[in-house]
Each structure stands twice: as structure tokens, then as C-alpha cells.
Structure 1
Amino acid sequence: MNAPTIRVLYIDDEENNLNAFKAGFRRQYEIYTAISAADGLKILENVPVHVIIADQKMPQTTGVEFFKSIVKTFPDPIRILLTGYTDIEALADAINHGDIYRYITKPWNDLELHNSIKNAYDAYKAKIDLRDKVAELEKTNDELNRFIYSISHELRAPLVSAMGIVNVVKMENLFHSSGEYWGMIETCSNKLDYYIQKTLQYYKNNKLVNENTPIDFKSLVAELIELYSYTDRETNFKVNIEQDIPFIGDAFRIEVILGNLISNAITYQKEDEQHKIVDIQIQVKKDVAEISISDNGMGILNEHLEKIFTQFFKSKTNHGSGLGLFIVKEALNKINGKISVSSNLQDGTTFKIKIPNVK
């Protein structure tokens, strides 16, 4: 396989240096030379150069100044500085700003300069490859975004229709007319709808950038209770929210966190419990909101407490999706929140959460 053609531009105000460079390296590289920075700029505008070598001491501009001037317009070529004297401040400034790849003292050593050009070209290739990969990933990510939203809407449209039919059957008192079939359809539809919603929550949580806005916990909790309590109207809620100061946080993720925990507290009640209770306590402080959500439900086995935040984990005592608490933990990680849990099969479960107030 033929070696790639490496295009090198050398800028120097001394023509003897230009001729010597061209004579020494013309067999190994495609060489372009310029007697001034202005001439070098003209070449850059017409030739896709890989490596630029410039002398530091030139009449109109220094090599460092030239490199700085082309960083934005020609960011890809790798830059090497030739200097015949030690200008530590200029070199340090150039290196710190990423304007040069390395510097070589004059008169140069052919082997050292040759190795520097080869290494610079490898750095150029790595930079271009990385940019191409990033562009490819961005394209794939955009396509995935469109696919996720499209498929979720395409799935939900017929699903909502099916759930609507079940509701019509209920209204006409025909729900039990075909044995357990309508109940099975309703259960499967609700489960599928749940999975679609959790998938979207997980996806949005991973993709969305944090957006902090004022949070009114009283209205938020009231809305979530109204939203999720329809599944079991027998559950009683004890709510105590102390918020005398403003709280700023990520509304989407806080809603996801509280919504999943409230939904779970309702869902995992004991079927024979006569007094189903969900206790929600929130205290907003200057730096943090402390939240406690408790239920007197079926509880979680001690050996499962460390696993409940794992994706798709299901215990023997409850048969959830294994997504809700995983999404809660992921959302808390995004906003630097913390969560702990205590539970037993007799008294139920308590989740305690701390969410930073970014005000």
C-alpha cells in the first residue's frame, strides 16, 4: 500500500532555508514554501496542508503570532515552530494556547525534523478521524432521537385506541361478558403503556441538559397524586410540605423522581390492607430539599434493598417493570441528588431523598 502524501508548508523569510528544506525533504513530502506569512496564508487558502512549519523570527510577524492568527480559520493543520533563539515566554504562551504542536531549534537536525513531521501528521489524522467519528455519532444520535419519538407515538396511537375501547365496554356494562378476556386486554394495554412511558422517561433523562427553574412542591405533589391515584382510590395520602423559601431545580427530573416513587407507593400496597397510606414529607432548606415518601405496603426483602435501583431488577415479592427505581436513581445522578431506602415486609417502605437547591 502506498504511503499517504503528506503536504507540508514551510514559511521562512530566508530563502536559503527554504531551498535547503525543499532539497532535503522533497522526496518524502509534498513541499510548499513561502517567503512571508502573507504568502503562506495564500497557500493555505488554496492547498489542504497537513503540517505547517514556521520560523519564529520573521520581519512582519513572528511564527507564534502567525499561528495564533490562523487558529480559527485553519484549525486542522498541525503547527511546528522553528526558532534560532530561546524565547521562553512566547513559546510557553503558544503551547498553552494550543497554537503549536512542538518547536525545533535552528539549525535543524534532519532526522529530528523528519520524525516531528511524521508525528505531526499522525496527530492530524487522529484529529480528523475523531471529528469524523463525532459527526457520525451525532448523526446516529439524531436518527435515534427521531426513531424513539416516532416509534413511541406510533405504538401509543393504537394502544390508546384499544384502551378507549375497553373503557367503552366498561361503560356499556359488558366488561365481564366474555369472561376474563377484557380484563386481560386491559392489563396488557396498561402494562405496554407503562413500558412506553418509562422508556421515554429514561431516554429523555439521558439526553436532556439540566434546565433549572423554580419548583413549587405543593402544586407539583398535588398534581402527581391526582395523576397516579386513579389506579387505587382507596389509598389515603398524608402530605406535609414546608417550603418557605424558593427552590430552584430541574423540573423534569424532579417530576420523574417524585412521580415514580408516588406511583410505586400506590401500586405496591397490600391487597388486604384496610388503611392504605402514603406519607409524603418535604422540607425545603436553603441548600437542599429533604423528601421522605413512605407507604405501609408489601415492603422489600432486605437482601433486595441494594439491588432495587438496578435496571430490570424484579424481586419475588413485587413484580414491577424493574425500570421505575432505576430511572429515579439515574435522574438523581443527573442533578447530584441522593437517595436511601429502608423497608420491611410488615411496615412497608420509606425512601429518603436529598435534592440540591441550585438557587
Structure 2
Amino acid sequence: MNNSEKKIKVLYVDDESNNLLAFQASFRRIFEVYTANSAADGLRILNDTDVHVVICDQRMPQSTGVEFFQIVRKAFPGPIRMLLTGYTDAEAIVDAINKGEIYRYIKKPWDELELKNAIQNAYEIFITRRQLKDKITELEKTNDELNRFVYSTSHDLRSPLASIMGILNLAHMENSVQDPNGYLNMIETCVKRMDGFIQKIIEYYKSIRVEDEYEDIDFKVMLNEIVEICSMQNRNIQFNINVDQESKFRGDAFRLSVIFNNLVSNAVKYQKASEDVQWVRIDVKVDEKKAIILIEDNGIGIVEQYLNNIFKMFFRSTNDVTGLGIGLYIVKEALGRIGGEISVHSVYGEGTQFKLAVPNHPYVKIEE
């Protein structure tokens, strides 16, 4: 490392003053060295200085190196940690690795070249981690800006679509336009489809942005409202809702409604036109820990080879029904946010069943 480069900041903690002096004498020309004769002094230095590498002796009177690193790992996770020990103490080394998450350990008396190389390697890891952290922060910022742009644009797009729908409705009501080829109906279908896509995008944005908020959930009321809306897509479908909710359930009402709306809407959308009796069954079983939900239909089903892909964004298992391919992705994301799980069983040509497990978040009583 030449003089023009920034020196590596190294903190060495040891209760023996001779070791501290020897460390300074060996490395003060190469590194920016800080020393402390106790864990408490070491923590004070870490609080005031942006240290890159921390080296600590294992055997100290007031606290061991492992105990010191356990505190450092939580309070100052950035610096790379190395344990220095004059004893072949396998248990201490294992503890240091598991509890203190050290980079490596060095035996005392140290070999100067070995310790120098270890510090330089540790610094390279420190720089790599910091660069990675900066990149992650930059990506998160870019992703947040992109999400905001998509959300804002989606809202702006809905306004002209609403205007088009208004004009089409007027044309239908007044019969002021001769349309023997049904072009107005085609335009209306396309506008509704586009509006549905935009609503899905807005729904996805809200699902990842809205803060978690738990409240009492009445599954019967929630499902009846969702079924009432989804049944407008197909009035011929028979809905069978069974809710067993003797226990109170607290959950994220917004995300649960998003999940149910997408799953029930899909069950309606992917029915077989040739089926004499089209049905959707929803069963809910609630206890103090969780709610188990089954949503089943006798629709077109899903080809087995597609089952592992249906929760991916923009994946569509069939071209027979129009869709954006984002609904099940939203379901998976929303469930993950509230700690839920989902599985699917489907037979192509016979129907599909989704099984959900959603954790209950009961009130926590605070004892006075």
C-alpha cells in the first residue's frame, strides 16, 4: 500500500500492554492503529472511529474475545472481526465463529507477515461488503422511484380511459352512432381490459408499499363482499362458502382482500364454458394460531408442468383467457408479507385447488 492510499484502520484489543506496544511497533507504519486494553475501551473507540478491522485477544479478565465480538457484531456490524489467542481452545474458536461471526483467528505469538496479510485480506472484504451495501441502497432507491413512476403513470392512464368509457356509454344510450360491425363493443372490451391491467399494477404497488395493519377479520363478511363483486364476471357460477370461525382472527385486512380477490377472480375467469354446473368452493377454518383457507373450482385446471411457474410475474398458463399474468404473483407477495403460505393442486381439465395458511395475530396483553 503506497502513501497516497487511505490507510486501513485497525483496532487491537488486549489486556496485556506489552502486546499492545508490540502490535503498534509492528504495524503503525503500515496501518492506522488503535489500541484498547479492555472491551469497554474498544467499544468507545468503535463508537468514535470508522474502524475497518477489529482484532481481539480471547483471554481477558473482564470479558472474553468472543463475548466482546458478540456485542460488536450487533452494535458495529461493519468492521471485520479477527480473534487472537495463545491457546489451542477449540471451544472458544467455535464460539467465536458461531456467536461472534469472526473472519478468522490468529495464534499467539503472531507471525507478522501472516497477520499483515490477514488484515489486508479482511480490509478487502470490508470494502467489498461496503460497496455491495451501497449498490443495494442504490438499487432500492431506483426500484422505489420506478415503483412510484409506475403507480403515478397508472393513475394518469385511468383518467383518459374513464373518459373513453363515458363517451362509449353515451353513444350506447343515445344510439347516435351507427355501428353495424360492432366496433364500439370491441373498443369497450379493449378499454375494460386495459383498465383491468392498470388496476392490477396499482394493486401490486399498494401491496408492497402499504404498511402492515392488523385488525379483526370476519371471513364470512369479507368473502361475501368479494364473491358479490367477482360473480358479476359470470352470473352462472354457483358459490359455496363455508366459514368455521369460532376464534377471533386478527390480520391484515387489505392484503387478505387482495389475496381473496385475485384467487376468487381467477376461479371465475378460468371456468369451462362447456361445463353444465360451474362452481367455486371456499372453505375457511380458523383457530387461535392460524386460518386455513381452501379455494377450489371445477374450471379448466393447470397443466402440471406449469405449476412451479404460476406465481412468477407475467407467467400465463393458458392463452385461452386474457390476463396480465400478475395476479398470482401479487398473491404470493402479499402472503409473504403477512407470513402466510400457499400451495396449489390442479388437474388439467378438472379444476384447481389453492390452500392457504395465514397466521393469526392475537392481541398481546401487557401485564402491569
TM-score over 0.5 for the pair: yes
Q: TM-score, length-normalised on structure 1?
A: 0.75
The 3-state SS of whatever aligns with 1:356 is strand
- State yes or no: 1:294 paired with 2:295: no
How far apart are residue 118 of structure 1 and its match? 2.1
| Aligned mates of 1:223, 1:327 — CA distance in 2 | 23
| Aligned mates of 1:123, 1:48 — CA distance in 2 | 15
Identify the residue that residue 258 of structure 1 maps to in structure 2.
Answer: 264
CA RMSD of aligned residues (A): 3.9
| Aligned mates of 1:230, 1:148 — CA distance in 2 | 28
Identify the residue that residue 279 of structure 1 maps to in structure 2.
Answer: 279
Identify the residue that residue 338 of structure 1 maps to in structure 2.
Answer: 343
Identify the residue that residue 157 of structure 2 maps to in structure 1.
Answer: 155
Q: Deviation string for 1:89-129 (max 9, x for gaps)?
A: 55443432226433322211123212321232123223322
| Aligned mates of 1:86, 1:125 — CA distance in 2 | 31
| Aligned mates of 2:11, 2:333 — CA distance in 1 | 51
Identify the residue that residue 195 of structure 2 maps to in structure 1.
Answer: 193
Change (3 A) 1:328 1:276: farther
Counterparts of 1:61-76 in structure 2, within 5 Å, are 61-76=63-78
Counterparts of 1:86-125 in structure 2, within 5 Å, are 86=88, 89-98=91-100, 100-125=102-127
Contact 1:64 1:94 in 2 (8 A): yes
The 3-state SS of whatever aligns with 2:244 is coil
| Aligned mates of 1:246, 1:284 — CA distance in 2 | 11
Change (3 A) 1:111 1:222: same
The 3-state SS of whatever aligns with 1:291 is strand
| Aligned mates of 1:328, 1:12 — CA distance in 2 | 53
- State yes or no: 1:269 paired with 2:273: yes
Q: Deviation string for 1:192-237 (max 9, x for gaps)?
A: 11221233445566777998877656544543343244455xx323
The 3-state SS of whatever aligns with 2:175 is coil
| Aligned mates of 2:134, 2:123 — CA distance in 1 | 16
> Which has the larger Rg?
1
Change (3 A) 1:226 1:17: closer
Higher deviation after alignment, 210-219 or 150-159: 210-219
Letter aligned with residue 138 of structure 2: E
Aligned length: 341
| Aligned mates of 1:42, 1:325 — CA distance in 2 | 52
Q: Deviation string for 1:272-291 (max 9, x for gaps)?
A: xxx97531223445774333
How far apart are residue 327 of structure 1 and its match? 4.4
Change (3 A) 1:207 1:41: closer
Change (3 A) 1:277 1:226: farther
Higher deviation after alignment, 329-338 or 141-150: 329-338
Q: Deviation string for 1:285-330 (max 9, x for gaps)?
A: 57743333235xxx58x9x6745947454756x2513526754885
Contact 2:262 2:328 in 1 (8 A): no
Letter aligned with residue 226 of structure 2: L
| Aligned mates of 1:329, 1:70 — CA distance in 2 | 39
Letter aligned with residue 23 of structure 1: A
- State yes or no: 1:134 paired with 2:127: no
Change (3 A) 1:177 1:83: closer
- State yes or no: 1:51 paired with 2:53: yes
How far apart are residue 176 of structure 1 and its match? 4.0
Q: Deviation string for 1:154-213 (max 9, x for gaps)?
A: 111221222122222222233546864433331221121122123344556677799887
Change (3 A) 1:228 1:166: farther
Identify the residue that residue 355 of structure 2 maps to in structure 1.
Answer: 354
Contact 1:260 1:328 in 2 (8 A): no
Contact 2:57 2:83 in 1 (8 A): yes
| Aligned mates of 2:318, 2:103 — CA distance in 1 | 56
- State yes or no: 1:85 paired with 2:87: yes
Structure 2 unmatched runs, 5+: 361-368
| Aligned mates of 1:156, 1:329 — CA distance in 2 | 23
How far apart are residue 257 of structure 1 and its match? 0.7
Change (3 A) 1:322 1:144: closer
| Aligned mates of 2:47, 2:284 — CA distance in 1 | 60
Contact 2:263 2:295 in 1 (8 A): no
Contact 1:11 1:35 in 2 (8 A): yes
Identify the residue that residue 365 of structure 2 maps to in structure 1.
Answer: none
Change (3 A) 1:168 1:46: same
Q: Deviation string for 1:326-345 (max 9, x for gaps)?
A: 5488579854333344455x
Counterparts of 1:217-228 in structure 2, within 5 Å, are 218-228=220-230
Contact 1:257 1:328 in 2 (8 A): no
